[in-house]
Amino acid sequence: MCECRNCNHCDKKDDSLTVSRRKVMAWSIGAINLAVFGAVFGPVLGFLGSPLKARTKKEWVPVCGLDELEPGKTKEVTYVVRVKDGYTMADHRYALFLKREANEVVAIDPACTHLGCKVQYQEKQGRYLCPCHGGVFDTEGNVVSGPPPKALLRHAVEVRDGQVFVQRNA
């Protein structure tokens, strides 16, 4: 290359300052491909990751008054949680077994840990029985016999101003 750079009298030109049409086309095709890739896979990744985002929020839900629970007795309680379902709000009904002990309230989920059937509390036997496959749980929700792999789920409970609150996923 000559010292004058891009002079008219020599055949050598400085190509570092010029961009060919092929490079411009390659860059624009790459940008279009990147935009299409983001438009397709962005929502797919958001859809796949949405359960992780939805399950992280927990809230305290009022389920009943403390005076409704007899000490030493187990009572089945149903309550409603308002959840966002797509673009609308829906009321979801849930059930719990509440047992009032000396200074605390225990909340046991009625879903069997085997296949999710709703267990029934048998007052006389002091046991939770699963009607689907014969699972048996004691009064604390621990497995006594049958196919369930683990104890019944317990929910966190808080008593405020005579009202029983249970922590649930929102």
Could you report the per-residue pLDDT of 127-168, keeping only the tens digit for each? 999 988 889 999 888 999 989 889 998 989 988 888 889 987
Do 27 and 96 belong to one domain? no
The one-character DSSP state at 168 is E
Give the pLDDT band (50/70/90) at residue 31: very high
Regarding whether 101 and 30 lie in a shared domain, the answer is no
Collapse the DSSP code of 120 into the 3-class scheme (helix H, G, I; strand E, B; otherwise coil) and give the result. strand
pLDDT at res. 17: 62
Of 13-17, 104-108, 117-121, least confident by mean pLDDT is: 13-17
Instruction: Indicate if 89 and 50 belong to the same structural domain.
Output: no
> Which residues share a beta bridge with 81?
92
- Whether 96 and 153 map to the same domain: the answer is yes
Position 83 scores a pLDDT of: 80
User: How high is the pLDDT of residue 35?
Assistant: 94
pTM: 0.62
Contact 64, 123 (CB under 8 A): no
Q: What are phi and psi of 85, to 5 degrees?
A: -120, 95
First vs last Cα of the chain: how many Å apart?
71
Q: Are residues 128 and 164 in the same domain?
A: yes
Q: Are both 87 and 157 inside the same structural domain?
A: yes
Domain shared by 96 and 132, yes or no: yes
Q: Are 23 and 135 in contact (CB under 8 A)?
A: no
Q: Are residues 94 and 78 in the same domain?
A: yes
Looking up residue 153, the CATH number of its domain turns out to be: 2.102.10.10
CA-CA distances (angstroms) from residue 5 to 18, 19, 160?
13, 17, 84
pLDDT for the residue 25 = 92
The range of the structural domain enclosing residue 122 comes to 59-169
Contact by Cβ (8 Å): 165, 70: no
Residue that is written with structure tokens 């890739």 in the block: 37
92 with 122, same domain: the answer is yes
Taking only the tens place, the pLDDT of each residue in 49-105 is: 877 765 556 788 888 888 888 888 888 998 888 887 778 888 888 899 999 887 788
My answer on whether 85 and 24 are in the same domain is no
The mean-pLDDT minimum among 1-5, 34-38, 77-81 falls in 1-5
Contact (Cβ atoms closer than 8 angstroms) between residue 113 and residue 150: yes
Confidence of residue 6 (pLDDT cuts 50, 70, 90): low
Alpha-carbon torsion (7, 9, 15, 19), positive or negative: positive
Judged against a pLDDT cut of 60, whether residue 1 lies above it is answered with no
Phi, psi of 50 (to 5 degrees): -65, -35
| Single-letter residue type at 142 | N
